Amino acid sequence: MRRFTLIMLVLLIGLSGIWAAGNSEAAAPATKKISVGLVLSTGGLGDKNFNDMSYEGLQRAVDAFGITFDYVEPKSPSDFLPQHRMFAEAGTYDLIVALGNDQLESIKEVKKDYPNQKISFIDTSSVIPGVRSVATKWPEQTFLCGIVAGLGTLSTMEKANKENVVGVILGMDFPNLREGVAGFISGVKYVNPTAEVLQATVGAFNDPGKGKEIALSMYNRGADFIQHIAGASGLGVFNAAKQVNRYAFGVGGNQNHLEPDYIVATSIRNVDDMVFNEVKALIEGTWVEGLQISGMKEGAVGYSTENSNIVLPESIRKVVEEARVKIVSGQLVPAANLESLDAWVAANKYGK
């Protein structure tokens, strides 16, 4: 055993050498700063979407206000509770930012034991006493891209075909994402009631290969525009659009630059702003509990063609802009869910 111990010792010493050589910048000032704990969703960092944008939002708060933050990446829903408890128990975090509605019960339980802990609960419409819930309107986020698809498939746009078919692809079958599907379909049917909208679910947010296969089969069935709501699986949709020379829509942060010749627009949602604004509200003293739902009116969601090389026909732009104005003013409310979609389509038609 002696040789084994010796080898281990040598390795340890070597290790400290390697580490010490490359670690000279780690020194933290000792002033009292606002400290934030971030509990990410189970998707984790690297999704180029929800989680990364939240991280980005806090990073901006670091630059703007000099806060510090720590984050945790739950591996499963079972981790939410201990991780929230860990932050609350530490007692040093001025605010916990929690991502995703599935953290609801853990937050309830921790809030019971630590009533003074401030928690901002992002992307939920659940109300918990003492917690600030921040939600966006999914139907409003995808509605305008739905209009582009509904008109585009009838138009003479370069990559559009004769079939009156478009598609929407979900990452996982989550109820709040289905609201996004409802928004997209209501946008399509608002301007094009007879259009067929294909729907499919990848089953994962991190499977671009499968996303691509599903998109290809939709394009083969005549779809010329596909909206994805599928996280990293959506990257496969873009790839498919490029392969068969059709159109796609991005979701979340502006994705148009990824395939500017094939992505017409992105259904924008600025999660980084949502998270940044929570810290800002805390610092400015305007942080209050309760539900904050923001939509197109507040600029939290919308649609962007920036960075896309595709030029939309003026006639389509006009309709989209009209609809946007109507939504902002409250005259037009996209279908809230798939169940109410048929009734909504019957009641709402463009130009009437």
Partner 1 sequence: MTIRRNLFRNGGNLLAATETIRMSTLSLLLAMVVSAIIMAICRYNPFEAFGAIFTGAFGNSRAISQTLVHATPLMFTGLAFTIAKKASLINIGVEGQMYMGAIATAWIGALDFGLPAVLHLPLAILFGAVAGALLAGLVGFLKVRFGSNEVISTIVLNTIAINITGYLANYPLKADGPTAQTNRILPTAELPRLFQGYQLTAAFFIAIAVCAIIYLVMNKSLLGYEIRCVGYNRLAAQTAGIPIGRVMVVTMLISGAVAGLAGAMLVLGVDKRFIVGFSPGYGYNGISVAALAADNPIGVVFAGLIFGALNAGSMVLNRTTRIPTDFINVIQAFVIIFVSAPLLVKDILPFHKLRRKHDK
177 to 236, contacts with partner 1 by CB under 8 A?
203
83 counts as binding partner 1 under rule CB under 8 A: yes
Task: Tell me the C-alpha distance between 96 and 254, whole Å.
Answer: 27
85 counts as binding partner 1 under rule CB under 8 A: yes
CB of 166 to partner 1, least distance (A): 24
Strands of the chain (E only): list them: 35-39, 68-72, 95-99, 119-122, 131-136, 165-170, 196-201, 223-229, 247-252, 263-269, 290-294, 301-304
15 counts as binding partner 1 under rule CB under 8 A: yes
Task: Tell me the C-alpha distance between 237 and 228, whole Å.
Answer: 7
- Of 96-104, 249-257, 307-315, 326-334, the window that binds partner 1 (rule: CB under 8 A) is 96-104
- Of 5-13, 216-224, 240-248, 275-283, the window that binds partner 1 (rule: CB under 8 A) is 5-13
- Of 120-128, 154-162, 214-222, 255-263, the window that binds partner 1 (rule: CB under 8 A) is 120-128
CB of 255 to partner 1, least distance (A): 24
DSSP code string of 28-49: ---S---EEEEE--TT-TTSSS
Task: Tell me the C-alpha distance between 69 and 37, whole Å.
Answer: 6
104 counts as binding partner 1 under rule CB under 8 A: yes
Nearer to partner 1, 5 or 156 (CB): 5
4 counts as binding partner 1 under rule CB under 8 A: yes
Using the structure block, give the residue that is written with the tokens 């829509």.
249
Distances (CA, A) of 231 to 45, 47, 130, 208: 12, 7, 31, 9
Binding flags for partner 1, 42-81, as an x/- string (CB under 8 A): x---------------------------xxxx-xxxxx-x
126 counts as binding partner 1 under rule CB under 8 A: yes
DSSP structural state of residue 232: G
Helix (H, G, I), strand (E, B) or coil at 238: helix
Among 9, 11, 325, 347, binds partner 1 (CB under 8 A): 11
**70: β partners:** 37
User: Which stretches of the chain bind partner 1, using CB under 8 A?
Assistant: 3-4, 7-8, 11, 15-16, 18-19, 22-23, 37, 42, 70-73, 75-79, 81-83, 85-87, 89, 101-102, 104-105, 113, 124-126, 172-176, 203
